[in-house]
Amino acid sequence: MELISSLLESVWSLLGAASWLVEPLLKIVFVLAILLGFAPILTWAERRQSAMMQDRVGPYKAGFPMPAFVMDAVPKAALGALAVSVITGVTGIGCFLAMVLFHMADEVLFPFTYGTTFFLCLVLSPAHYVAYKILPTLFEDNRLTVYGLLHPAADALKAFWKEDFIPPRGDKLLFALAPMIAVFPAFATFAVIPFGPTVYWEHLFQPLPDGGDLGVSSVLQVASINVGILYMFAIAGTGIVGAAIAGYSSDNKYALLGGLRAASQMVSYEVTLGLSLVGCFMVYDTLLLSDMVTWQIDHVWGILVQPLAFVLFFVASIAEYKRVPFDVPEGESEIVAGYFLEYSSGKWLIFMTGEFVEVVVSSALIATVFLGGYDVPFLTPHGWEAFGWRFDLAASDVALLREFHVISDVLNSHIAVVLAQIGAFLVKMAALCWLSLQVRWTMPRFRYDQVMQLCWKIMLPASLLNVLVTGILILFFQEL
C-alpha cells in the first residue's frame, strides 16, 4: 500500500509540474469535443428535416454490424437495467422511510449513510430506467445505429475515400489551401469563449468558501487575451479569403460567381455584426468575454438590455455562415453549388464541416454575450441562493428537512456548481443551434439583391440607431 501511495503521489506531482501543458491541452480537447460533437448532430437534424425526405421515412441507416451474442445480450442488459432501477428505487424508498420515521440520516448503512444512500438511489433509479427504455432502440436490423446519428460519421469517412478531383486548369496550390483557410477560423474563434466558471481544485467536493485564498484554480477558457472579442472578428474575417480563393482557383465561372457572392455578403454583414455589438461594449464597458459574463451575472442578461442588438447579431450571424435564407453563394438553382462547385471528397467535407462548426461557434458567442454565458439563475459560486435565502437543508428550522441535508450538500458542492454551469452553457448553445435550424427549415432563399438591401438599408441603420439610443440611455442614467 505504501508503494502504491508513493507512486500515486509521484504521478500527481508530475501532473502538477506539467500543468502548464496538460491544462491547455485538456481545454482544447474539450472544445474540440463540443465542436465535433455538435456538428454531426446538426448535420443529422438538417438531413432529417430538409429536402432529404428519405431520411425521415426510414432508410438503411449507417451502423455497425453487431455479433449475434451482443444482440442476444441487449434484452438481458435492458432487463438488468430495469432490475437495478427497481432495486435502487426500493432501497431509496426504504432509506426515505428510515430517515422520516426513525431519523437515521447519518447512521451508517454499509458502505454509506442512509442519507447518502437515498441520494444515490435518487439518481441511479431514474437513470437505469431511462437506460432500460433507450437501450433496445439503439439497434436496428442487428446493427448499432443510434437513431441514425452514426450516418454523418459514415458519410465523413466515406468522403475521404472518394476521388479527389482537381480542375486541370485551376490553381492547384490555392485550390488545396482554400478549404483549410475557410475552416480554420471556425475552430480558432472558440478559443476566447469562456465555457464555464473558474475551477478551484482544492474545494471540488465541498461548497466554495466565501473568501480567503482558494488555492490552485483554472479558468475554463482556452485563451484569455486582452483584446477579447476583437480576436474573434479578426480571425473570422479570414474565412472570407477562403471562400473567395475557392471560387477563383476552381477555373469555373459558376464557382467564381459564388466566391464573389460569398465575399461580398460576408464583408457586408460583418459590418452589421460588429456594429450590433458596440452597444454591448458600451453597456459592459469591456471587450473581454469573461468580464461580459461576470457583468451579466451581477446585473441582468444582455438580451434584456440590448434586445435589438440580439436580433441584429443573430440575423447577421446566419448570413455570415451562409445558411438559408442567406445561402445565395451556394444557390443550387442559380449557380449549381457556388464557390465549392469543383470540390469533392475530403476538401468538400472540410467546407461543410466549417459551415456547421460556424453555427456552433456563433451560437456559443450569442449565448455568451446575450444569454449570460454559463450563468444559471439563482446559482452562485457558493451554491443555490434566491433572494437572500440559501438552499442549505442542514441549517433548516424543520427537523425533517435536516435529515435530507445530503441533497443540499451535494448540490451546493463546487463540482456540482461547475457542472451545472457548463451544462447550462451547452444547453443555451444547443437551443440557439436549434433556432438557427428552425429559420433554415421555415424561410425560403432571398434573392441576392434582397440580401444586400437587407444589410445596407435596414440592418446597418438599425445597428447605428441602437448605438445612438444606447449612448443616450447610458448618459441619462449616469446623470440620475
Q: What is the pLDDT of residues 292-337, one digit of tens each?
A: 999 999 889 999 999 999 999 999 988 887 777 888 777 777 777 7
For residues 214 and 288, which has the higher predicted lDDT (pLDDT)?
288
Helix runs in 371-447, H state only: 399-402, 405-411, 414-442
- Of 156, 349, 167, 358, which Cα lies nearest the Cα of 255? 167
Asked if residues 142 and 65 have their Cβ atoms less than 8 Å apart, the reply is yes
Output the pLDDT for position 53: 42
Instruction: State how far the Cα of 10 lies from the Cα of 337, in Å rounded to an integer.
Output: 57
For residues 199 and 13, which has the higher predicted lDDT (pLDDT)?
199
- Residues counted in the chain: 480
Output the pLDDT for position 131: 93
Instruction: State how far the Cα of 448 lies from the Cα of 139, in Å rounded to an integer.
Output: 45
369 pLDDT tier (thresholds 50, 70, 90): very high
Output the pLDDT for position 17: 54
Q: What are phi and psi of 64, to 5 degrees?
A: -95, 125
Instruction: State how far the Cα of 372 lies from the Cα of 346, in Å rounded to an integer.
Output: 37
Instruction: State how far the Cα of 64 lies from the Cα of 61, in Å rounded to an integer.
Output: 10
Range of weakest confidence among 120-129, 317-326, 418-427: 317-326
AA letter at 58: G
Instruction: State how far the Cα of 247 lies from the Cα of 253, in Å rounded to an integer.
Output: 8
- Strand, coil or helix: 200: strand
DSSP class per residue in 207-238 = PPPSSS---SEEESSS---TTTHHHHHHHHTH
Asked if residues 474 and 281 have their Cβ atoms less than 8 Å apart, the reply is no
Q: Look-up: residue for cell 456563433?
A: 362
Partners of residue 383 on adjacent β-strands: 380
DSSP class per residue in 83-109 = HHHHHHHHHHHHHHHHHHHH--TTSEE
Nine-digit cell at 410? 451535494
Asked if residues 417 and 423 have their Cβ atoms less than 8 Å apart, the reply is no
Output the pLDDT for position 293: 93
- Strand, coil or helix: 204: coil
Q: Which tens digits make up the pLDDT trace of 125-177? A: 999 999 999 998 888 888 888 877 777 777 777 777 877 777 878 778 888 88
Is pLDDT of 216 > 60?
yes
What is the pTM (predicted TM-score) of this model?
Answer: 0.86
Q: Which tens digits make up the pLDDT trace of 181-199? A: 888 888 888 888 998 898 8
- Strand, coil or helix: 195: coil
User: Which residues, at least 6 apart from 476, have a Cβ–Cβ distance to it below 8 Å?
Assistant: none
Q: Averaged over 257-261, what is the pLDDT?
A: 82
Instruction: State how far the Cα of 190 lies from the Cα of 323, in Å rounded to an integer.
Output: 20
Instruction: State how far the Cα of 424 lies from the Cα of 437, in Å rounded to an integer.
Output: 20
List the helix and strand counts (H, then E) for the chain: 20, 10
Instruction: State how far the Cα of 96 lies from the Cα of 347, in Å rounded to an integer.
Output: 59
